[in-house]
Amino acid sequence: MAKKQFDFIVFDWDGTLMDSTATIVKCIQASAKDLGLPIPDERAASYVIGLSLGDAMQAVLPDVDPKYHPRMVERYRYHYLAKDHELPLFPGVREMLNELSQDGYFLAVATGKSRVGLNRAMHSANLLSSFDATRCADETFSKPHPAMLQELTRELGQDMKRTLMIGDTTHDLQMAANAGAASVAVEYGAHEASFLQELDPLFSAKTVDELREWLNQYA
């Protein structure tokens, strides 16, 4: 089948490929608890998923003394590292990536994780060889700044107009808009579908299967 409109597909990681939203929320809450700070509710904690860790802690507890934010990052890492090797990919992700790769798409990851965190996650999911390039929040600007997409397209010699960003948060979709790339939302991650719709994605998938089917037909 002839390729239609994209050559390059960029995925967010947490909440898009890996089923980690609930664990991230719990770790953010635990880090606040450890330091005796107000514990953010689930909605507030899921809203900051996708930002770099420093930005996320600042956004989730904007009113606490800023000296606590780096300490929250440290506690978060402690809790998350105890759990990250158990986190599964969403069902169907591996098959979808294999299919896209066989169809000749360039594939990449743009994530709010640190380089160490992404490498660990990709290693435990056995996906290290599935992507042509990856970009992490500690290497460049955090989402929704367009830098990750700009750097990835440059690195792989791709055209932004033929690039598709797929993510579960408004940070992902806003980054795509800021970079001039198209976007597709997934509704099974951190942000509510109504928030995602406001950013006009080409499609909004309720499941990985729906995403895979759409990519197969329209990408």
List active site positions. 12, 14
Residue with tokens 């994530």: 111
Exposed/middle/buried for residue 67 (C-beta within 10 Å: 0-12, 13-18, 19+): exposed
Determine the 3-state secondary structure of 66 from DSSP. coil
Which amino acid makes up residue 89? Answer: L
CB-CB contact of 15 with 49 (8 Å): yes
Sign of the Cα pseudo-torsion (79, 143, 170, 103, in order): negative
- What is the CB neighbour count within 10 angstroms for residue 128? 11
